[in-house]
Amino acid sequence: YMGLQERVRPFPQVDNQGGSKCCIGFDDQMLLHGGGSRHPECPERILVIWNRLVDQGLAEQCKWVHGRMATYDELARAHTPEHIQNVFDTAKGKIYPDDVDTECNIHTSQAARLAAGILVEITLNVVRGFCENGFAVIRPPGHHATQDQAMGFCFFNNVAVAARAAQFEPNVSKVMIIDWDVHHGNGTEDIFYDDPSVLFFSVHGYGEGDFYPGTGHLDRLGVGKGEGYNINVPWPCFGVGDDENIKLFQKVVVPVAKEFSPDLVIISAGFDSMRGDPLGQMNISPSGYRIILSMIQDAVCDGRVVLALEGGYNLKVIPNAAEACLATLLGQPYTEESQPEPSQIDVQAECDQMIETVIQKIQPYWPNAFPKPPNDISNEIVVLLDNE
């Protein structure tokens, strides 16, 4: 681990702390967490991303948020006291959770608090008007962590903690969380499932419900006052690429976002939905992420968008996705070395059907986003005549 810290590029000494468009966060102490280089969620993930952003001259154009740990009160807005204490106790050697996939060590508590704290600090910079947008290069990821349980490489739900922190600001009441990680954000869904002030949208691999974590069915719409504010798009197949995701954002995400009209958008930016990921089996390119990110920036809340790194396990390709996203946040062009690959015809057809199914499912909750076509009126007239 100490060798990894020595490989971290220093943040460029540029005096742009007051006037940058984008806020960026990173801390090399997060490299110390976890089970090592053989684990998919390895420390090198944030190392290769950070070094790329520095080498390409993008990081120096950002306001740098120095690492700080999330406070107990910040964490307690999204997690139970028992769960918070369990994570804290890993610093004393406690093994938590009892999950062979989610490894911890004595540095896990600090890293998890840094990940959440950095994202909170970036979010507050954005909502207070110091920056337009932000990117948190953080680990461990967070979107699988529920109110009371660590799982799936996640300990604290970073985006949930940040959303709650934002809602304590006077100019933020509604937050939209978009999760494009290939795995369903079950933890984020759990935390906000009955809350109409947070619109959660997740697009993820699902198959027949046998893809980790096995949650995220489109029937999961929320409960109580939160019904309709939890939207899942469970892709039934793999190999889904740029065209399908762009179509989804055009037809579903952007119209719903406009009707919801959030004060802030937080994106669970998992790059395991990218072509070449060993766990994801999807086909998105860096340009694909760039396009859907710019669509959200242009659609709502004057571009107040904050990205939080979630998954992404191919060390050769995740820096490309991160570079494309940060360039987009900075309003700069990004040129991809290779052309995106179109999806197979059967994949396109299955995704088109899923998009239409999702629209039918959520239309009653978002009537302005999906106004009924004129032929629906004639159908209703026929029904009325039949009832006469």
- Rounded to the nearest 5 degrees, what angle is found at the Cα of 344, between the Cα atoms of 40 and 355? 85
Report the amino acid identity of residue 329. Answer: L
Neighbours of 109 (CB within 10 A): 24
User: Exposure of 137 by Cβ count < 10 A (0-12 exposed, 13-18 middle, 19+ buried)?
Assistant: buried
Phi then psi dihedrals of residue 203, to 5 deg: -115, 130
Looking at the DSSP assignment, which residues form a beta bridge with residue 362? none
Per-residue confidence (pLDDT) for residue 37, from 0 to 100? 65
- Residue pair 257/304 in contact (Cβ under 8 Å)? The answer is no
Per-residue confidence (pLDDT) for residue 263, from 0 to 100? 98
Per-residue confidence (pLDDT) for residue 386, from 0 to 100? 44
Per-residue confidence (pLDDT) for residue 2, from 0 to 100? 59
What are 251-293's pLDDT values in tens digits? 999 999 999 999 999 999 999 999 999 999 999 999 999 999 9
- Rounded to the nearest 5 degrees, what angle is found at the Cα of 11, between the Cα atoms of 9 and 13? 130
- Residue pair 288/249 in contact (Cβ under 8 Å)? The answer is no
CA-CA distance, 89 to 93, in Å (whole number)?
Answer: 7
Per-residue confidence (pLDDT) for residue 341, from 0 to 100? 72
Phi then psi dihedrals of residue 246, to 5 deg: -65, -45
**SS3 for 341?**
coil
Q: Name 355's Cβ contacts closer than 8 Å, sequence gap at least 6.
A: 233, 247, 248, 251, 252
Which residues are identified as catalytic? 144
Report the amino acid identity of residue 128. Answer: R
Residues in the chain with pLDDT values less than 70: 1-2, 13-19, 35-37, 337-340, 374-388
**SS3 for 11?**
coil
Structure token pair of residue 39 = 């684990």
